[in-house]
Every structure is written in C-alpha cells, then in structure tokens.
Amino acid sequence: MEGKQKNIPLWRRYVDGLYTKDDVQLLQDELNSEASDYRLLDSLSAEVWEESAVQQPYTDLEREKYKKEARMLLKRLGHKKPVWHRRILYATTGIAVLLCLVLGSVGYLNYLERQQLTYLEASTSFGEHKDVRLPDGSMLTLNACSRVRYPDRFAGKERRIELEGEGFFRVQRNEAQPFIVRTRFFDVRVLGTSFNIKSYATDELVSVDVESGKVQVDLPEAMMRLAANEHVQINTQSGEYSKQREAHAVAVWRERSLRFDATPIHDVAKELERMYNCRISFAADTEFANLISGEHDNKSLEAVLQSIEYTSGIHYRLSGNKVLLYKD
C-alpha cells in the first residue's frame, strides 16, 4: 500500500487515460502483484468517472498521442484472468478511459478540420461598396472602408466571421450552426436573419439594426436581444447604450443615403469621408461637441454640408475633396 501511495500520480494518469510508454510496465507490475490494494484505484476511478462526464481534461493533441498506448494497455490487461473485483475495476476504468479517448478523438478531428481551413478577406475603400457571398450562401454587403475575414467553409458548431467597419447581412437560416459576427466592440449571434452592423474602430458610436428575425448582441459585460425594427446604439467611450424600436429602412447607405440620429459631429465627418472620398478637418482651437440629426437621400457632399450648416451653425469651406469645418 505504501508503494502505491507513492505512485498516486502514476495511477492518476492511468485512470485518466494519460501515461507514457515507461509507465506501462510499472502499471502492469502493480496490477499483477498479489499484494496490490485496489481500494486506491477504485477511489481514483470514481473520481475520473465523475470528472469525465463534465469536462475533457488536457488537450486534444495529448489525447491523440496517448490513444494508441491506451489501447495497447487495455488489450494486455484483457488477456489476464482477474478476480471478480478486478473485473469490475477494469470495466469502470475502461469506460472512463474510453470516454476520455472518444471525447479527445472527436475534439482532435475538429481541431484538424479547423487547421485545414483557408481564410479569405474582402475589403472596400473610400466610396466603395462590395457584395460578398459567404460559404453557406449568406450574403454580405460591405460599406466603404470595411473589411471582412471568413473561412472558405464553415466547420464545427458555428459559422464565425470577423468584421471591421460596416456591413449588411442576409444570413441563411441554420439552427444547428449559429452565425456569429465578431467585431472589435461586440459579437452578434443569429440563426438566420437580415441586419446591419456598424463598428468602425475610429467611431465613437457603433450600432446594430435588425431588419428581420432576431439577433443577440454580446457585449463584454452585457447581452441583449433585438427583434425586427429594433436598433441598439453603443457609445464606445462611455459604455452607454440606447435600444430603440422604430420602423425605418435599414442600411440606407446602400442607396447612397445618410441618416444621423444625435450623432457626434466627428462621427458625421468620418462617415462623409468614407462615402464621398473626401478629407475633413476641424478648425483649431474650436470645440465641436455638436450632435447631428437628419436624413439625406442621395445628395451631393455640398448639399449635405449645407444642411449641417443650417441645423448646427457649423460652417464649411470646400476646396476640391478637402473640407474645413469652422465656427464664427
């Protein structure tokens, strides 16, 4: 018993299905010993049996590494003629080891499948839109200065892509494989719906607009669900968010239109730069804390600037593709 107590780490690895070639002979000698006390092994087997039902210990690569050794050891033990107590012990241990091996092998196959994926990217520049067909047939329209990264096929339990910027999605429904869009500030999870995500790294406000179906927005410390005609706007600086329900067209930028709803003037300037491929600067030593609201349907840059001047009192000077905003 004393010797076995010293070998507890070895027995633990054996019951858990993790051991090396050098361990095999030691284990065999212990099991063949007439003085072997199986109470310790019984206890360890019970522990691993409970743990194996709720977790997959160690890595998938380790499981595959020891898979062959586990089979060899179990085969060798199978040629023995143990007493009734030992048969029950082997059966319990074998089931636990087999369960770990099955979990490990499934995880390892998923790991290999993920490693074989090729990732693609699509991006847009100033004033550009682009349609992207994703591997499952879902469609994405990228707004200007945006980028999407996605696999050449969706493997595993999720369809996961990454978005920087703005995009309108029409997602093919698949309840067995949720569609997840990861952005810098939040994740959006859907089963099948149409929605718009605006998440530019340089903007103060980011948002999600739902056209049809439902989406789940996962924030670092919160989660919310949105239905059709619902909209959430998040302030990346303060962390505050506003959820609203109103029927309006989603992603009006696809029609070269603009909609501002209490939008900081600096965000408005960035949106105008992206849409009209212009460069906007602000007069020095002047505070610009204005919030801009309004809709502009397919108007020229100067027409939009005139409207902003009328509602906010911010003047502009346009020269070629350069704009200076200033106040009196």
- For the domain that residue 291 is a member of, what is the CATH number? 3.55.50.30
- Kindly give the pairing relationship between strand 187-190 and strand 147-151: unpaired
28 pLDDT above the threshold of 80: no
* CA atoms of 214 and 205, how far apart (whole Å): 22
Examine the domain organization and report whether 110 and 132 are in the same domain. no
Look at the chain and report how many structural domains it folds into. Answer: 3
Residue 275 has a pLDDT of 96
* Span 94-107, pLDDT tens digits: 555 555 555 555 45
Rounded Cα distance, 247 and 130, in Å: 26
CATH code, domain carrying 152: 2.60.120.1440
Q: What local confidence, expressed as pLDDT, does residue 7 receive?
A: 61
Q: What value does the mean pLDDT take over residues 15-41?
A: 57
Structure-model confidence comparison of residues 240 and 131, the more confident one: 131
pLDDT tens-digit readout, 114-126: 557 889 999 999 9
Which residue, of 90, 115, 140, is where some domain finishes? 115
Residues 247 and 272 in one domain: no
Whole-number average pLDDT of the chain: 79
pLDDT at 185: 94
pLDDT band at 79 (very low <50, low <70, confident <90, very high): very low
User: Which pair of tokens denotes residue 28?
Assistant: 């065999």
What ranges in the chain are assigned the alpha helix state H?
A: 2-6, 8-15, 21-32, 39-52, 60-78, 84-115, 265-276, 301-312
Residues 179-223: tens digit of each pLDDT? 999 999 999 999 889 999 999 999 999 999 999 999 999 988 888
Residue 43 pLDDT more than 80?
Answer: no
Residues 143 and 179 in one domain: yes
Going by C-alpha positions, the residue among 92, 86, 70, 95 that lies closest to residue 31 is 86
| 88 & 126 share domain | no
Who wins on pLDDT, 230 or 3?
Answer: 230
Specify whether 92 is located in the same domain as 125.
no
Q: Which two tokens stand for residue 72?
A: 């060899």
Q: Are 157 and 104 part of one and the same domain? A: no
Domain co-membership, 41 together with 72:
yes
Instruction: Pull the structure tokens for residue 69.
Output: 């050794």
Cα-flanking dihedrals φ and ψ of residue 296, to 5°?
-135, 110
Same domain, 214 and 242: yes
Say what the pLDDT of residue 58 is.
42
- CA dist 8 and 98 (Å) reads 21
pLDDT at 234: 93
User: At a CB cut-off of 8 Å and minimum separation 6, what does 51 contact?
Assistant: 16, 57
According to the model, what pLDDT value does residue 156 have?
85
Q: Do 244 and 140 fall into the same domain?
A: yes
Q: What residue numbers bound the domain in which 196 lies?
A: 119-251
Q: Which of the listed residues 251, 278, 302 is the one where a domain comes to its end?
A: 251
Structure tokens of 130? 């682009």
